[in-house]
Amino acid sequence: MKTPRSRTSALHKLKVSVATFASVIAFAAGPALAEDKPAIEVVTHAGAGGGTDVNSRMMMLRSRRTLAQDMVVVNKRGGGGAAAMNYFMTRPADGNTILTFTVGHAITMGAGKTKLTVADMAPIARGTNDPQILMVNCKTTAYKTPEEFVEGMKGGDALKFGGTQTGTIDHITAFLWAKRLGVGMPTYIPFKGGGELATQLVAGSVDVGILNLSEAAAPVEAGDICPMVILAENGMAPIPDAKTSKELGIDLNLSTTRGFVTHAGVDAERLAELEAGMMKAMEHSMYQAYLTNSGLDSSSPMASADWGKQIESMVAEFGPAMKEMGLIE
């Protein structure tokens, strides 16, 4: 599976640095828009400039206008999101505190490392959704199609999977993928980050890399790495040869995702106001450009009902998986 030249322009967009938006993001810390309203705290577990921090600020850029209310980032690092979640629990349920909720938070909740529960949160909207993709080395793989890849694993092919560290969404993905196919956990080799993993996949250190498209844009464009399976319901335009898990008849959707929640018990009218304001803000061309340059599309923003279902699904799946994997007792 070689990467067609027609993909070059689409994949090239993934290379644009988030720094492109730095000057725009600065406006998110501008003066208050309504002096009679308190500022909304947007609590993140990432340091300034991290992916979750940037996503929060990009959402805030227009939400401050659509909600006519100032918004400020509160960074609470530590514990895989536990510090941010624990701080969130101390805030009043008045709709003026928003937690940026990620797949990492769902893993931490599934592991029982925080007292925050799904029932304590009210979903507002999803901001980004970056599907997990199983990729192989185009030049050395024995599999030329996604179907061959699936049949090979089902047939007992021993493959080395690579991901980012242990106990992460990548590690859990390897386990759940194998479980859905009815085979044992493959050998899993952890790396420090997606860039290193992509390099080692090209070098032949692993047979399968669990990556997001943005992490492997350059080697995919060069024809060195071939995406096989997108663990999602919908395909991705830059990689048309890859099949979705849904197309292959495998019930497994996993993503690196970020979204926003507030406290359960917040007034229904206020919840509706927050959802409408944030969804409208994320329809703006600047947020859409941010998605494009992150290798995502307009399907990332999602309204509260479906976002809430995704949160529930992640937390419910991750806890039992980690127990089976021996990561928690």
Determine, yes or no, domain membership for 64.
yes
Q: Which of 244, 278, 302 is the last residue of a domain?
A: 244
Does pLDDT of 282 surpass 60? yes
**Same domain (yes/no): 123, 264:** yes
50: region left, alpha or beta (phi > 0 left; psi from -120 to 50 alpha): beta
Helix (H) or strand (E) holding 99: strand 97-102
How many domains does the chain contain in total? 2
**Same domain (yes/no): 38, 141:** no
Amino acid residing at 134: L
Q: Kindly report the pTM of this predicted structure.
A: 0.87
Q: What was the pLDDT predicted at 64?
A: 96
Percent above pLDDT 90 for the chain: 83
Helix (H) or strand (E) holding 103: helix 103-110
Determine, yes or no, domain membership for 171.
yes
Question: Which of 138, 148, 142, 300 shows the shortest CA–CA distance to 219?
Answer: 138
Q: Which of 197, 224, 244 is the last residue of a domain?
A: 244
Tens of pLDDT along 66-121?
Answer: 999 999 999 999 999 999 999 999 999 999 999 999 999 999 999 999 999 999 99
Q: What was the pLDDT predicted at 11?
A: 53
**Same domain (yes/no): 118, 264:** yes
Are the beta carbons of 245 and 229 closer than 8 angstroms? Answer: yes
**Same domain (yes/no): 77, 145:** no
Q: Could you tell me the residue range of the domain that residue 227 belongs to?
A: 5-9+133-244
Tens of pLDDT along 5-15?
Answer: 344 444 544 44
Question: Which of 106, 122, 130 shows the shortest CA–CA distance to 51?
Answer: 130
Does pLDDT of 20 surpass 70? no
Percent above pLDDT 70 for the chain: 89
Question: Which of 102, 106, 131 shows the shortest CA–CA distance to 247?
Answer: 131
Cα–Cα distance between 284 and 28 in angstroms, integer?
14
Cα–Cα distance between 161 and 214 in angstroms, integer?
19
Determine, yes or no, domain membership for 250.
no
Q: What was the pLDDT predicted at 6?
A: 41
Tens of pLDDT along 27-47?
Answer: 444 444 556 789 999 999 998
Q: Mean pLDDT, to the nearest integer, of 216-237?
A: 94
Angle at alpha carbon of residue 228, lines to 288 and 192, rounded to 5°: 75
Structural tokens at position 48? 């300034």
**Same domain (yes/no): 277, 306:** yes
**Same domain (yes/no): 53, 193:** no
Q: Confidence band (pLDDT; 50, 70, 90) for 3?
A: very low
**Same domain (yes/no): 226, 280:** no
Give the CATH number, domain containing residue 137.
Answer: 3.40.190.10
**Same domain (yes/no): 299, 150:** no
Residue tagged 């640095």 (tokens)? 17
Tens of pLDDT along 139-179?
Answer: 999 999 999 999 999 999 999 999 999 999 999 999 999 99
**Same domain (yes/no): 144, 236:** yes
Determine, yes or no, domain membership for 17.
no
**If you write DSSP's letter for every residue of 110-174 in order, what string do you get?**
HTT-SS--GGGEEEEEEEEEEE-EEEEETTT-S-SSHHHHHHHHHTT---EEEEESSSSHHHHHH
**Same domain (yes/no): 163, 220:** yes
Q: Mean pLDDT, to the nearest integer, of 43-57?
A: 91
Q: What was the pLDDT predicted at 33?
A: 54
